[in-house]
Structure 1
Amino acid sequence: MPFALVALVLLPLFFGVLRLVELAGGPTLMPANPRLNASPVPVIVHIVSAVGYTVVGAFQFSAGLRRRRPGWHRAAGRVLVVLGLAVAFSALWLTLFYPRQPGTGALAYLFRLAFGSGMAAALVLGVTTIRRRDVARHRAWMIRAYALALGAATQVVTLGIGPALFGPSQLTHDLSLGAAWIINLTVAEHLIRRSAHRATVRVGS
């Protein structure tokens, strides 16, 4: 699973690194985005935090690694909570205080506020549940937070499929953005329920 998750985020991470190169004064390898260049710090925080959170976070879902290196899992988890909150809050900052991205409407704005806030809330709940030694709920909230962080990866697909099926429009673009987060949460809930079912079967047997 960890390597599959890393493979999933490679393309958006690649584009993020290209944007970092541009903001650092390197060549412009992506379409110009003046709204980001005018105030680059939140963008840099968002990209760097997302790289660390999605790549290192993928290995938190390795059951074998958790069993063999529980100390690493706990230490990495503390760092990942900080990185995840930085991803969520920088995303909210970009949504609230940057000019709206061309081609997007009010629906995309609401999606970004809702799912950015949802990621931050999931991380906080993940911390509070593990402090109560509730491992199952801790794992569930962390899966939901990670699923929301992978929104950009799934949007690579939905932003291609949506306009192809329904035609290019602002509404189609916004709905394609939201569909990515909804798909990820649906998969996350399936994994959470499947894990809970397996735990119940093991206890019953």
Structure 2
Amino acid sequence: MTRREWRLPAALILLSLVPVIAGAARVTELGTGPEVTAGNARFVADPVPVVLHIVGAVVYSILGAFQFVPSLRRHRWHRRAGRILVPCGLTVALSGLWMTFAYDLPAHDHGVLTWIRLFFGSAMALSILLGLAAALRRDFTRHRAWMARGYAIGLGAGTQAFTLAPYMVATGEQPGANARAGLMLLAWLVNLAVAEWFLRRRARPRQARRPLVVAG
């Protein structure tokens, strides 16, 4: 293994830290019998979907980052980790859809954002299932592509911290419903764009990526 091949997994883990820490804090809060407030009432009343979502997301985001290490993909570890990641990823996607339907969401989470969440939750689940189907057919090129797309969607919460935070710093207030929806959508689109760039870069022939050497 080389240091270079660990750069991407390290970056992905760092991107995951914000939602992982926030999720751990939420689970800890729910486990200590918190005072019910407007912000946590829905979670206290029905903690199952949010706990499933957080636990699945922590495993999926951290363990999934190691699937991008080339040397590990050549070992059985990749397949064994995949057997954990597929159910965890589906848990994240389906529990996200569950929360969207079941919880009495705040006003800023209704409207357009509801449809955006439904779309990306469904797209994440579909990407994982298509990736699994491709692996079973031993079509590993499509397997990697669909799994990368599913992972990119799953990491949306990490990128959303970087799209929402500048707005709040600049304005000194929480974004309204439309601004929040737009900034969260932007995060998912950025992740998918980076995933597609990564996939196309890897698809280029090795020869094309070698620097041109001109004899002197």
CA distance in 1, matches of 2:137, 2:208: 24
- Equivalent pairs counted in the alignment come to 198
CA distance in 1, matches of 2:112, 2:90: 23
Gaps of 5+ in 2: 1-7, 210-216
Equivalent residue for 2:60? 53
CA distance in 1, matches of 2:113, 2:96: 13
> Quick one: which of 132, 136, 140 aligns to 1:131?
136
CA distance in 2, matches of 1:139, 1:199: 18
Equivalent residue for 1:74? 79
Deviations 1:113-152 (A, max 9, x none): 0000000000000011111111111000010000000000
Q: Percent same amino acid among aligned pairs?
A: 46
CA RMSD of aligned residues (A): 2.0
Gaps of 5+ in 1: none
Equivalent residue for 1:17? 24
Which secondary structure state, in structure 2, belongs to the residue aligned with residue 100 of structure 1?
coil
Deviations 1:163-190 (A, max 9, x none): 537x832211111111111110111111
Equivalent residue for 1:156? 161
Query: After TM superposition, which residue ranges in structure 1, 4 or more long, deviate above 6 angstroms?
Result: none
CA distance in 2, matches of 1:82, 1:4: 24
The 5-angstrom pairing of residues 52-201 of structure 1 reads 52-67=59-74, 70-162=75-167, 164=170, 168-198=175-205, 201=208
| TM-score normalised by the chain length of structure 2 | 0.85
CA distance in 1, matches of 2:67, 2:51: 24
